[in-house]
Structure 1
Amino acid sequence: MRTQGTAAELGNRVPRYFDIVVVGFVGFLLLSNITATKLIDINVGVGHLIFDGGAILFPLTYILGDVLTEIYGLKRAKRAIYLGFAMSVIAALVFFLVQIAPPAEGYENQSAYEAVLGFVPRIVLASLLGYLFGQLLNALVLDKLRARFGENNMWIRLIGSTLVGEFADTLIFCTVAFYGIITGADFLNYLITGYVYKVAVEVILLPVTYLVIGWFKRHEPGWVGKSDPNLRLS
């Protein structure tokens, strides 16, 4: 009795590029969490735009999140999201342990380390909660819209999922991380600027997202919109 298939048959049982997408997804997330510790204030002539450094790269995680759900299905997207959450927790723990470890004699950058990578409970909690709820909502909405429209009107599900996911993420992160530190009109500026920027980036990059998803549809035809039935995710 045959117990093994050919190499081609075995290779067809798993997606070829899923791991690459997940690595990029988690990598962008971790970099965004680190750069989010800096607040940026840009004078645009008629006023100021206030946003954190994580806003520069974080929208790309939503683009890759769209690829994960659109190509590999909701369960695999959830798997990547939970993996990103776990790695964020591990990163925060490592940063904290290094921070409290006694510095070597002559080491003069302890305060600089703490300022950038120091364990700030509000930032860590805000990042983890915002990411988890935002990404799960993004994946869920995209999946529901795909079920409603099928392969048609992909721009509706891409933008619709972004509007919902980015709103949840931005509201949770800004409120938990900086409410009370930034108050009044400045907080509203910070909240609106971050949300509009993140949504605008995905809208502007929509043609690129179409090209990327199109490439994956050609190279992962058996996995478009499907999840691994062996996965046991809620």
Structure 2
Amino acid sequence: MAEQRRTAAFAETGSRYFPVLVGLFVGVMLISNVTASRPAVFFSSWLQFDLGPIHVNGLPTDGAFFLFPLAYVLGDVISEVYGFRAMRRVIALGFGILLLASASLWVADQLPTSDPVTDAQTHELQAAFHTVSGVIPQILIAGLAGYLVGEFLNSYVLVRMKERSGEQRLWARLIGSTIVGEAADTVVFCAIAAPALGFTTFSSFLSYTLVGFVWKVCIEVLVMPITYAVCGWLKRREPTYGEQLQSATNR
């Protein structure tokens, strides 16, 4: 076991590639937590059935469903190439930026409003912003909680599996870490965000949670060839990764 763990290699973070990955990751997280305030239901016109106490009426989701899985793909790449310590710093940075976004929205919503009689158009815009920003902070809180738990577990599981298997079985690390991280993230996020999105019944909450989890895992599997390619590309171009790998395998 000890010999296997010595085969795990990780690159240093002082390269030109690491900041780009961090920027993409934080940007995806921020955009996802804003777009998640838009509820959506697919196939409600025909996908209706009862399963015991659960009534399914379409597939409930939110506006982040098409972008959010990319955050876990990026988290996998960072964890695989740069390690758990580097990913912890990225998670902390993302947490701080999401907090800043939440605080900024709250402050903007508290600013003085115009007179609805003398300036009706501007007041209309202010009221619309209040309607949206009144939901977004709850979504951001849900995103922060799910993000911390999910990304931490995703990175931790991936790196621990790599310490055991070395460079082999990347597919198992990607799938295993995603299942653990996405399960935790989805349950925590949906438990907090579902009421704000209108999913107030047990059936709608369960459907929202299951659809989100299955969708994210399926996306991870579908884009796995791209994740493989990006990880391989970075490993070949990070000099410190090659040095650590050679040192580890030559012991």
Question: For the superposition of Structure 1 and Structure 2, which TM-score range results when normalised by the shorter chain?
Answer: 0.7 to 0.9
1:25: Cα distance to partner? Answer: 0.2
Query: Partners of 1:84 and 1:154 in 2: how far apart?
Result: 25
How many aligned residue pairs are there? 215
1:201 aligns with 219
Aligned match for 1:158, one of 174, 194, 217: 174
Matched to 1:23, the amino acid is G
Does the CA-based 8 Å contact 2:151-2:181 persist in structure 1? yes
Does the CA-based 8 Å contact 1:70-1:224 persist in structure 2? no
Q: Which runs of 5+ in 2 are unaligned?
A: 1-11, 49-57, 245-251
Query: Partners of 2:65 and 2:210 in 1: how far apart?
Result: 12
SS of residue paired to 2:230: helix
Matched to 1:172, the amino acid is V
Range with greater deviation from structure 2 (89-98 or 46-55): 46-55
1:184 aligns with 202
Does the CA-based 8 Å contact 1:162-1:199 persist in structure 2? yes
1:37 aligns with 37
Range with greater deviation from structure 2 (103-112 or 32-41): 103-112
- 1:225/1:154 CA distance change after superposition, 3 Å: farther
Does the CA-based 8 Å contact 1:99-1:119 persist in structure 2? no
1:26 corresponds to 2:26: yes
1:111: Cα distance to partner? Answer: 2.3
After superposition, the CA RMSD in angstroms is 2.1
SS of residue paired to 1:14: coil
Give the fraction of aligned pairs with identical amino acids, expressed as a percent.
Answer: 42
1:116: Cα distance to partner? Answer: 2.6
Does the CA-based 8 Å contact 1:71-1:225 persist in structure 2? no
2:152 aligns with 136
Matched to 1:133, the amino acid is V
2:230 aligns with 212
1:28: Cα distance to partner? Answer: 0.2
1:120: Cα distance to partner? Answer: 4.9
SS of residue paired to 1:51: strand
SS of residue paired to 1:50: strand
Aligned match for 2:97, one of 80, 83, 87: 87
1:69-88 superposed matches below 5 A: 69-88=79-98
Query: Partners of 1:162 and 1:89 in 2: how far apart?
Result: 24
Query: Partners of 1:149 and 1:127 in 2: how far apart?
Result: 32
Query: Partners of 1:60 and 1:158 in 2: how far apart?
Result: 13
- 1:155/1:137 CA distance change after superposition, 3 Å: same
1:144-167 deviation per Cα after TM superposition (whole angstroms, max 9, x unaligned): 010111100100000100000000
Aligned match for 1:122, one of 129, 138, 144: 138
1:59 corresponds to 2:65: no
Query: Partners of 2:243 and 2:89 in 1: how far apart?
Result: 15
- 1:192/1:181 CA distance change after superposition, 3 Å: closer
1:121: Cα distance to partner? Answer: 4.7
Name segments (4+ residues, structure 1) moved above 6 Å: none
Does the CA-based 8 Å contact 1:122-1:177 persist in structure 2? yes
Matched to 2:26, the amino acid is V
1:119: Cα distance to partner? Answer: 5.8
Report the TM-score when normalising by structure 2: 0.80
1:21: Cα distance to partner? Answer: 0.2
Query: Partners of 2:241 and 2:130 in 1: how far apart?
Result: 44
Report the TM-score when normalising by structure 1: 0.86
Matched to 1:215, the amino acid is W
